[in-house]
Each structure stands twice: as C-alpha cells, then as structure tokens.
Amino acid sequence: MKIDPWASKGIQNYKEICDKFGLDAIDHTKLPNPTHLHRRGIIFAHRDLDNVLQSKKRDRGFGVLSGLMPSGQIHLGHKMVIDQAKWFQDLGGDVTITVADLEAHATRGLSLEKCRKYAIEEYISNYAGMGLDPDKTSIYFQSERPVVQKLGFTLGKKTNLSEMEAIYGFSGETNLAHVQSPLVQAGDIVHPQLEEYGGLRPIVVPVGIDQDPHIRLTRGMVSKTNWFNVNENKSGNVTIGLSIQDNNQNTMGLRDDGGIDKKQRQKVIDKAIVAIRKAGFNETNANPKHGTIEIKDANYGEHNELKYHLLNLERQMGGMGLMQPASTYHQFAVGMTGGKMSSSQPETTMFLNDSMKDIEKKIKSSFSGGKPTVEEHRAKGGNPDVDVAYQYLRYFFEEDDNELERIRNEYISGDLLTGEIKSICVEKATTWMKNHHELKDQNQHLVKEFLK
Ligand code: TRP
C-alpha cells in the first residue's frame, strides 16, 4: 500500500493506514476544547501530538505549519486545514503558512507571478475571513525564503532515491520536480525551529492523510541529523546514543584516524549528563567508548523531555538541533457527486467563492443516500454514511452534535426525506457562506499583515 500525495485515489481503509504507517489514534476526550472535527472522529490520527501539548503545558510554546498549493480554487477542504491551524492558535501556537509557489511552478507549470497572484486573490484573501490572528500568523512564499531551499539540500543529504522510491513509489520516469519538492517542503516544515523563526519548539502540521508521505520523509531525515539518539533499551529504560556524522565527528570525540579522543569524548558525555539532569533524571551509566549513556530512572514515555534538552545541547555544540515535526490527520469529505472531491471538477466540491445559487444547485443535485421513492424511503429510511447533504452537515455546517444526531436518526428512520435533508443543508451552507463572504470582505486589510 502506497499513498501518492499528488494523486491520491481516495482512502478506503483509515485503520489499515494507521497500522501500516504507525499513526496514533486521537482520543478527543483528552484534548482541550475539541472542535466538531475532533469530536466526530474526522481528525482521527496523529504523530507526536503529545509533544506539542506537553510543550504548551510547560510554557515553551509550539508552532503550527501549513502550506497551500497556489493552483485551482480554494474549497471547503482547504478551509478545514485553516480551522485546525486556528484551533492550535487559540491554544497558544504561532502559525506559519507556506505558499508552495516553487512546487506549483515545478509540478503544475505555473509562472511564479501567476502563483503569487493566485495565492493572494484566491487563498489568502479568503484566509482573512477565517479568524487567524495576524499578530501570530505569517504567510510566506517558498521562492522568497531561501533558507527553506537550503534546508531542503541539507536534509536531502539524509535520504536517497531508494527511500524516495519506497515512500512515494517513484520510478525511472518520475519527473525530478517530484523529487525536489518534498525536500523543499521538508525545509518548510522544519524552518520555524530555526533561531530567527522562533527557535526550538515542536511544530505541528495538520494535514489530510494523503500528505503523510511528506511527514514520514521529513521525520526520517530530521532524526538522522540529530546528534543524540534517544532509544528505549531492553530493560525498558532509555539509552542515549551519540550519533557520529561527517560534520560532528571531532566534536563527538572521534579522531580523523578513526580512534577515540578520550578527553573530548568524556567532555561530550559530561555535557550530555548535564542535559539529562535538566530533564529531571540522575541515574546515568555512561560507556564513553561506545558513546552511550543508559538512564536508569527514565522510561521511554519521557523521551520528549530528554530530547528537548539534548537538542538544546546539540545547538550549543554547533548542530542544527531539529525536532521531528508532529502532525494530525483528517479524513476527507466525499465529493458532492459521491466520488472524490476534485478542484478540477467544480461539481464535486464547494468553492469558497461560490454564489448562493451555485451552492443550492450543487447540494440539490448531490449524491443522495435516500431511497428512490418516498414510500420506500419512509419504510426503509436513508443511509447518512453516503449521503452528501448529511456528510456536509457533519463535516462543515452543523456544529451542534445533538442537532446532527437528530438529523441522522430521523434520516435513518425515514422521517426525514431526501429533499428535506438537502434543504437543511442548503439553508445551513448558504448561511455559513454568506457569513464567510462578509467576514472576508471586512478583513481584506489583514492580507498585508499576514504577509509581513
Ligand atoms: N504539498 C502541499 C500541497 O500539495 C503544499 C505544501 C507545501 C505544504 N509545503 C507544505 C503542506 C508544508 C503542508 C506543509 O498542497
């Protein structure tokens, strides 16, 4: 099973994906102020979200990073990601948004000027109506932040074509733009940790499940740059291992002739033990020759705290000290015609610039889970799981869980007819959209602020 982030065919089995790629399930009862997306299991999985929430608790802050491809029209799916960014922002995170103009240029053949115009007129002007705090939000263009490209190169040293092949299913015919853009995207994802962009803190990337290959690649490359590995050992405790690399071997106490510089090695071990103490652990047992430190009073559940202090140390010693990005994953709403949502087929989705008439038309002709005749529907009831009107209420337009439950039950029992559930959806969707258009118009001045 592979996921192609550029042409995902729609996911059939979310659970299988979690198992195969090692995603953790989200328990919304443990989240502060869960949104309807969390409560309904639409945001269903994560990597390292605990690290983010712990960092917030310890007042060390955290960042959120998202990106947009400036091609096509902005639709409800894009809004879902911004809603998540806003949720994280309300919890105290700072938000950075990448305009992937280099990626769009390379993979979609758009000029950078077109990308810029598109990004501003189509996307960012709509973001202005979505409640992000301009003081804690920054939107930038990939082509204008050279450091993300530089990081792409630096991280690129930690992967190779075979790994890219295994992750993305690339082959000999793959266009090299598809090899380059995930590396630049990795640069996007990690750069908020650089000192000039806010320093060491967890960065969470809320994405659709189809983007997980990028997260996996980035996490893999980042962990290979780390100078101190934090591993669970056989007795269930933690062992720190020095990671010797081309650019740190002398600092880590390895001489050019391959022998160990005992004095230098001891210095590194001593520094690491100080960092381990800062993390709250004291029972260390070092083996300088092997470059390992066993920590007897730490279990693996505490690895984030250890990692934080060791990454700080790495930075003091001249390394990059990068944390693996965290991520959350959402499921996809079905397309309005019952298949996949696709921005190149306008009838399959609702665009944020659609008129009330467009919306009504799309909902009225959307795929229905009802029965063909009223009699049959009354007798057997409809199927909300495939019904577009119901699903759009669930994903986007009905915030009240009790109301949604009532609609669901009445639809299943046959009390609510297909035309009726569609009318409810039209009513809620047009109310939402009118309000969005108003907020968008009122807040156009924010576009400039976001781009500062
Ligand atoms: N590749 C993403 C897309 O196709 C856009 C993107 C670029 C992005 N950089 C990112 C998304 C960083 C999330 C994080 O939409």
Q: Residue 304 corresponds to which tokens in the numbers above?
A: 């984030």
Q: Poorest-confidence range of 9-13, 140-144, 419-423?
A: 9-13
| Ligand 1: residue whose CA is nearest its atom 8 | 67
Residues 77 and 200 grouped into a single domain? yes
Q: How many A from CA of 376 to the centre of ligand 1?
A: 46
Nearest by Cα to 370 from 343, 405, 407, 341: 407
pLDDT digits (tens, 9 = 90+) for 331-345: 989 999 998 888 888
| Ligand 1: residue whose CA is nearest its atom 6 | 67
- Residue 176 buriedness (CB in 10 A; 0-12 / 13-18 / 19+): exposed
Residue 421 has pLDDT above 70, yes or no: yes
Average pLDDT (75-88) is 95
Residue of 108, 209, 211 to test ligand 1 pocket, by largest number of atoms within 8 Å of CB: 211
Residues 210 and 255 grouped into a single domain? no
User: Which pLDDT belongs to residue 253?
Assistant: 97
pLDDT class of 249 with cuts at 50, 70, 90: very high
* Residue partners of 86: CB distance under 8 A and separation at least 6: 95, 130, 131, 132
- pLDDT, averaged across the chain: 95
Percentage of residues in the chain having pLDDT higher than 70: 98
pLDDT class of 452 with cuts at 50, 70, 90: confident
Average pLDDT (82-97) is 97
| Ligand 1: residue whose CA is nearest its atom 4 | 69
Q: How many A from CA of 182 to the centre of ligand 1?
A: 9
Name residue, tokens 């690895």: 303
Residues 396 and 424 grouped into a single domain? yes
Q: Quick check: is 88 in a domain?
A: yes
- Which ranges of 67-176 does DSSP label H, i.e. alpha helix? 76-90, 101-108, 112-118, 125-127, 146-156, 161-168
Average pLDDT (377-401) is 97
Boundary-marking domain end, from 279, 297, 330: 330
Q: What is the CATH number of the domain that holds 66?
A: 3.40.50.620
Residues 276 and 133 grouped into a single domain? no
Residue 371 has pLDDT above 70, yes or no: yes
Cβ atoms of 226 and 322 within 8 Å: the answer is yes
Ligand 1 atom having least distance to the Cα of 100? 7
Cα–Cα distances in Å, from 317 out to 258, 307, 374, 444? Answer: 21, 15, 73, 45
Q: Poorest-confidence range of 71-85, 140-154, 305-319, 426-440?
A: 71-85
Residues 125 and 139 grouped into a single domain? yes
User: Which pLDDT belongs to residue 326?
Assistant: 98
Q: How many A from CA of 403 to the centre of ligand 1?
A: 35
Residues 221 and 232 grouped into a single domain? no
Average pLDDT (42-63) is 96
pLDDT digits (tens, 9 = 90+) for 171-207: 889 989 889 999 999 999 999 999 999 999 999 999 9
pLDDT class of 218 with cuts at 50, 70, 90: very high
Q: How many A from CA of 127 to the centre of ligand 1?
A: 16
Residues 204 and 246 grouped into a single domain? no
Residues 92 and 50 grouped into a single domain? yes
Average pLDDT (73-91) is 95
Nearest by Cα to 382 from 36, 112, 391: 391
Q: CA-to-CA distance for 24 and 45, rounded, in angstroms?
A: 5
Average pLDDT (390-403) is 97
**Residue 64 corresponds to which amino acid?**
V
Residue 9 has pLDDT above 60, yes or no: no
Percentage of residues in the chain having pLDDT higher than 90: 88
Calculate the CA 382 to chain-centre distance.
Answer: 34
Q: CA-to-CA distance for 270 and 97, rounded, in angstroms?
A: 40
Residue 6 has pLDDT above 70, yes or no: no
Cα–Cα distances in Å, from 428 out to 43, 68, 138, 160, 396? Answer: 22, 27, 31, 49, 9
Q: How many A from CA of 186 to the centre of ligand 1?
A: 9
User: Which pLDDT belongs to residue 342?
Assistant: 82
Name residue, tokens 């510089």: 261
Residues 304 and 376 grouped into a single domain? no
Average pLDDT (58-69) is 96
Cβ atoms of 3 and 17 within 8 Å: the answer is yes
| Ligand 1: residue whose CA is nearest its atom 11 | 67
pLDDT digits (tens, 9 = 90+) for 117-137: 999 999 999 999 999 999 999
Whole-structure pTM value: 0.94
Q: Of 185 and 9, which is predicted with more confidence? A: 185
Q: How many domains does the chain have?
A: 3
Residue 2 has pLDDT above 70, yes or no: no
Range of the domain at 264: 228-316
Q: Is 66 helix (H, G, I), strand (E, B) or coil?
A: strand
380: number of Cβ within 10 Å: 13
Q: How many A from CA of 357 to the centre of ligand 1?
A: 31
Q: How many A from CA of 210 to the centre of ligand 1?
A: 11
**Residue 320 corresponds to which amino acid?**
M
Ligand 1 atom having least distance to the Cα of 189? 12
Residue of 3, 4, 66 to test ligand 1 pocket, by largest number of atoms within 8 Å of CB: 66
Residues 204 and 232 grouped into a single domain? no
Residue of 47, 148, 185, 209 to test ligand 1 pocket, by largest number of atoms within 8 Å of CB: 185
Cβ atoms of 397 and 429 within 8 Å: the answer is yes
User: Which pLDDT belongs to residue 20?
Assistant: 87
User: Which pLDDT belongs to residue 13?
Assistant: 78
> Which residues, judged by CB distance below 6 Å to any ligand atom, belong to the binding site of ligand 1?
65-67, 69, 98, 100, 103, 185, 188-189, 205, 207
User: Which pLDDT belongs to residue 210?
Assistant: 86
Residue of 47, 103, 149, 181 to test ligand 1 pocket, by largest number of atoms within 8 Å of CB: 103
pLDDT class of 373 with cuts at 50, 70, 90: very high
pLDDT digits (tens, 9 = 90+) for 32-41: 999 999 999 9
Q: Quick check: is 293 in a domain?
A: yes
Phi-psi bin for 325: left (phi > 0), alpha (psi -120 to 50), beta?
beta
Q: How many A from CA of 19 to the centre of ligand 1?
A: 24
Q: Quick check: is 279 in a domain?
A: yes
Residues 38 and 154 grouped into a single domain? yes
Residue 8 has pLDDT above 70, yes or no: no
pLDDT digits (tens, 9 = 90+) for 351-365: 999 999 999 999 999
Pairing of strands 94-99, 137-141: parallel
pLDDT class of 367 with cuts at 50, 70, 90: very high
pLDDT digits (tens, 9 = 90+) for 272-317: 999 999 999 999 999 999 999 999 999 999 999 999 999 999 999 9
Residues 87 and 166 grouped into a single domain? yes
